[in-house]
Structure 1
Amino acid sequence: MKKFPTYFISHGGGPWPWIPDMRAAFSNLETSLKEMVAAWDTPPKAILMISGHWEEKSVAIMASPKPPMVYDYYGFPAETYQISYPAPGAPELAEKTLSLLTEAGIPAHLDHKRGFDHGTFAPLAVMYPEANIPVFQISLMKSYDPAIHMAIGRALASLREEGVAIIGSGLSYHNLRLFGPQAKEPSTVFDHWLNDTLTQAPESRTPSVIDWTSAPYARICHQHEDHLMPLFVALGAAEEDTATRIYHDEGLFGGVTASSYQFGS
């Protein structure tokens, strides 16, 4: 079976695929998500999403065969709280994921109630609008420790060889209090740092990216690193693979620069 690349995607804002003006603003992101799918010779057996919108004390693993919806956004039109993305879950892979994490000494547990949050269902609605690929999520850990999240990725790397596409879903810039023109300089400078760091040779990349708080404007771009942490899981699962930037945008939300990356080919 094909070994899938891993990804860190910037997933846009709220339920953007269902809001025409927002969808137009994210047209480059939409194109990149569709190109991801087009590049896969065969569909994945399942998609494992690590969203910046779910965190627990230990790694929680979505185990429902029919995951519900989590509308974790505010101030959007009423109809966006009725969205359905009826992809099946992947309970057997959830069990396998639990075993892999446990064997690696990483605290984890199954969650049979958790549903898809918008970090999952918004990009997937563009990638697979038919919702015909099994999907499951794992949570971040509240510690936000980059090394631990890299270790989570390493523990799950073998899933790639079983046809699972591992996608970290966040944003390369996430400061909800700083949008517009004021965001241009910090997001652009941090984006340059991120690209230079991730495209290093794999053997020198890990210590550089783990030390992300030393990057210029790091704490302005990520006051809380929930939307950056999915990157470390995706990178840990493809630690020996080279990185390719597959999406880049400037001027989002009036000034934000954002990017997405693929690890492996």
Structure 2
Amino acid sequence: MRQPTIFLSHGGGPSFWLDGPMARAFDGLKAYLGGLLDDLPERPRAILVVSAHWEEPRITLGSAPAPAMIFDYYGFPAHAYRLSYPAPGAPELAERARGLLAAAGVDAALDPTRGFDHGVFVPMLIVDPGATIPIVTLSLRQDLDPAFHIGVGAALAPLREEGVLILGSGNSFHNIRAFFDGEETAAAGFDAWLTEAATKPEAKERDALLERWRQAPFARDCHPREEHLLPLMVVAGAAGADVGRRVFHDSIAGKAISGFAFG
């Protein structure tokens, strides 16, 4: 059956495996991720994950048959570096996706050595703890152009009909320096704008707003650099005419965080 497209927050580093208030702050997100597969029309045959933690000069797909772990976070307890997520890769799906991109005029490459960064393994350890669903990872392009990434998603949309879930892993708020400052106005204002934009009933209006996200209230307060927002652009592009809905909303350390699904 046709799969939706989903944009979610992957938390903060190895947030779900920390102790104390830091871990408890992410309880709501953990519960949402744990039930994500139950809300799909059927179990996906594979998942294409657009990670905020992978940027390349051109769009690149991870094509390793057995991706390794990439611990791209720092300063956490030793057990956070012993996490394992042995989900299989899907080289044939990576090649299929590259073909779709090429047909749309998007230059793309394969990386047979790329492993799972924490934008992939942190949420997926909660979504599919048995690591049974094959995963292909997709990079962002370094210029972080929103219109280009919407186009990338549109090119990949046929995968949805083939049982592939397109999952954008980022965060609707990503300003590390401000995360625990106790100020709530900026995150709430931007979240309200983002929710309105992502759920517009007309795809052209939705995509036009997302392309101009920098003009949104508090845009740079919430995203000093937009790599954690760009997976939403890919997801929205793959949505086509499907109307978005907010499927997750919580206040984490006082910051409004939302996730969206299309289809």
The TM tier, using the shorter chain, reads over 0.9
1:131 is matched with 131
Query: How far does residue 181 in structure 1 lie from its aligned partner after superposition?
Result: 4.0
* Mapped partners of 1:26, 1:180: distance in 2: 14
Contact 2:48 2:166 (8 Å CA) reproduced: yes
* Mapped partners of 1:38, 1:92: distance in 2: 26
User: How do residues 197-212 of structure 1 correspond to structure 2 at under 5 angstroms?
Assistant: 197-203=197-203, 204-212=205-213
* Mapped partners of 1:19, 1:82: distance in 2: 13
Q: Does 1:88 align with 2:106?
A: no
The residue type equivalent to 1:73 in the other structure is Y
* Mapped partners of 1:41, 1:166: distance in 2: 14
User: How do residues 8-157 of structure 1 correspond to structure 2 at under 5 angstroms?
Assistant: 8-21=7-20, 22-157=22-157
* Mapped partners of 1:70, 1:184: distance in 2: 32
The residue type equivalent to 1:136 in the other structure is V
* Mapped partners of 1:262, 1:160: distance in 2: 13
Contact 2:2 2:41 (8 Å CA) reproduced: no
1:260 is matched with 259
Identity %: 46
The residue type equivalent to 1:17 in the other structure is F
Q: Does 1:224 align with 2:230?
A: no
The residue type equivalent to 1:90 in the other structure is A
Query: How far does residue 35 in structure 1 lie from its aligned partner after superposition?
Result: 2.5
Q: Does 1:249 align with 2:250?
A: yes
* Mapped partners of 2:149, 2:172: distance in 1: 16
Query: How far does residue 134 in structure 1 lie from its aligned partner after superposition?
Result: 0.3
Query: TM-score, normalising length from structure 1?
Result: 0.96
Structure 1 spans left out of the alignment, 5+ residues: none
Contact 2:157 2:240 (8 Å CA) reproduced: no
Contact 1:70 1:117 (8 Å CA) reproduced: yes
Please list the CA deviations of residues 42-85 of structure 1 after superposition, one character each: whole Å capped at 9, or x if unmatched.
21010100010000000110000000011010110112112110
Contact 1:17 1:125 (8 Å CA) reproduced: no
Query: How far does residue 149 in structure 1 lie from its aligned partner after superposition?
Result: 0.1
Secondary structure at the counterpart of residue 76 of structure 2: coil
1:159 is matched with 159
Structure 2 spans left out of the alignment, 5+ residues: none
* Higher mean C-alpha displacement, 148-157 vs 191-200: 191-200
Query: How far does residue 182 in structure 1 lie from its aligned partner after superposition?
Result: 4.5
Contact 2:97 2:156 (8 Å CA) reproduced: yes
1:194 is matched with 194
Secondary structure at the counterpart of residue 6 of structure 2: strand
Query: How far does residue 117 in structure 1 lie from its aligned partner after superposition?
Result: 0.7
* Mapped partners of 1:115, 1:60: distance in 2: 12
Query: TM-score, normalising length from structure 2?
Result: 0.96
Q: 1:69 to 1:216 in 2, by over 3 A?
A: same
Q: 1:72 to 1:183 in 2, by over 3 A?
A: farther
* Mapped partners of 1:69, 1:62: distance in 2: 13
2:173 is matched with 173
Query: How far does residue 123 in structure 1 lie from its aligned partner after superposition?
Result: 0.7
Contact 1:62 1:112 (8 Å CA) reproduced: yes
Secondary structure at the counterpart of residue 172 of structure 1: coil
Contact 1:202 1:239 (8 Å CA) reproduced: no
> What's the RMSD between the two structures over aligned residues?
1.1
Secondary structure at the counterpart of residue 239 of structure 2: coil
* Higher mean C-alpha displacement, 15-24 vs 107-116: 15-24
1:233 is matched with 234
Secondary structure at the counterpart of residue 237 of structure 1: helix
Count of paired positions? 261
Please list the CA deviations of residues 116-172 of structure 1 after superposition, one character each: whole Å capped at 9, or x if unmatched.
011111111111110011011010000110010001000000000000000000000
